[in-house]
Amino acid sequence: MRGVNPWFIGMIVVFVAAVLFVVTVMKGIAEKAGASVAVERCVQLCIEAKERGMDLSNGPCLSNDVAPGWVCDVAHWPRLPVDDDPANQCEAFGKTAFHFVEVDENCNVIRVY
């Protein structure tokens, strides 16, 4: 029985590494694009809420699905302990959404996570 050519094994290893690298890069690009969409939509939702006269002082959740996997929440700036209470955050966060955009009452982005 003949052994497997070491060159062939080396090529397979290089190919698998290249595929994993491309997948990782593409995932990073997709996540950044999702964040950009989420931020843009969250700010727009906040502006629209203010124009409708909505009270944003109590830090409402503006969207549980501002982009796939993202929520949009209003928080105080500077942040207050009440902003970290899960009861005061978007219901979908930690369940169907694992990223959030927080804006203040004036629709300025506080943080993107």
pLDDT tens for each residue of 65-103? 999 999 999 999 999 999 999 889 999 999 999 999 999
Preceding amide of 78 cis, omega within 30: yes
Neighbours of 8 (CB within 10 A): 9
How far is C-alpha 100 from the geometric centre of its chain's CA atoms?
Answer: 5
| Whether pLDDT at 31 is above 60 | no
Amino acid of residue 32: K
Which pTM does this prediction carry?
A: 0.72
Of the two residues 88 and 18, the one the predictor is more confident about is: 88
- What would the mean pLDDT of 15-41 be, rounded to a whole number? 62
